[in-house]
């Protein structure tokens, strides 16, 4: 990680992902203290759970960081070709091979055609 090159927005994002990772690590630590006699299979189960969450956090980080999530100017309305207006962010569920991730995506709306899109889809 190169902190010196990042903008302020980027370093805020880095902090958010670091906080999520830190939380996961703390839970692992707490679990270890609560289960000093854990069997191998129990540890294995715990690691698989953590691995899933870790993957989901990473996926969210990558998805939310994409520039296409908030294009400026807004995308063209598929009906009337006019520029669509930004209507704020909405939580969307993204399913991938990693698992299920909830991410904030920009929502664009055409008041004439009453259509909304989440670019790039």
Residues that bind Zn ion (CB under 5 A): 77, 79-80, 110, 112-113
Residue 119 has which token pair? 């670019």
What is the smallest separation between the CB atom of 67 and Zn ion, expressed in angstroms? 23
Nearer to Zn ion, 23 or 79 (CB): 79
**Beta-ladder partners of 83:** 76
What is the smallest separation between the CB atom of 70 and Zn ion, expressed in angstroms? 19
Cβ–Cβ under 8 Å, residues 89 and 37:
no
Nearer to Zn ion, 103 or 110 (CB): 110
Nearer to Zn ion, 104 or 116 (CB): 116
Nearer to Zn ion, 77 or 103 (CB): 77
What is the smallest separation between the CB atom of 77 and Zn ion, expressed in angstroms? 3
What DSSP string describes 3-61? TTT--HHHHHHHHHHHHHHHHHHHHHHHHHHH-TT--HHHHHHHHHHHHHHHHHHHHHH
What is the smallest separation between the CB atom of 108 and Zn ion, expressed in angstroms? 10
CA distance 119 to 121: 5
């Amino acid at each position: 990680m190169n902190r010196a090159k990042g903008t302020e927005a980027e370093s805020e994002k880095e902090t958010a992902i670091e906080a999520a990772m830190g939380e996961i690590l703390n839970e692992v630590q707490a679990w270890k203290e609560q289960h000093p006699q854990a069997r191998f299979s129990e540890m294995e189960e715990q690691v698989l759970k953590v691995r899933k969450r870790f993957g989901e956090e990473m996926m969210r980080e990558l998805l939310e960081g994409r520039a296409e999530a908030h294009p400026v100017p807004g995308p063209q309305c598929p009906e009337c070709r006019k520029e669509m207006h930004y209507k704020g962010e909405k939580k969307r569920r993204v399913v991938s091979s990693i698992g299920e991730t909830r991410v904030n995506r920009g929502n664009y709306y055409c008041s004439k055609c009453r259509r909304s899109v989440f670019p790039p889809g």
